[in-house]
Amino acid sequence: MAKVTVRYWAAAKAAAGVAEEAYDAATLADALTAVRERHPGELVRVLQRCSFLIDGDPVGTRGHETVRLADGGTVEVLPPFAGG
């Protein structure tokens, strides 16, 4: 199991109440399950609209259970952004 940092941006940060936190997770799906358990309120709804970067690389349409996490890695949680 990898130790990763989950970083929240914009609405995800507001819903989590923190900018980042550490999790033990082997896959993105595992990390997101842990996030939902720790933050069962608004963040669960926000996550449904988010995209994710793993160590700077977009996850895109890959299944979250197939996205392996590296020890010391970073998961960026990016809600849709407005404006330009």
Domain boundaries, the chain: 2-63+73-78
Cβ atoms 80, 9 nearer than 8 A = no
Q: What is the pLDDT along the chain (84 residues), one digit of tens a residue?
A: 999 999 999 999 999 999 999 999 999 999 999 999 999 999 999 999 999 999 999 999 999 999 999 999 999 999 987 655
Confirm or reject CATH 3.10.20.30 for domain 2-63+73-78, answering yes or no. yes
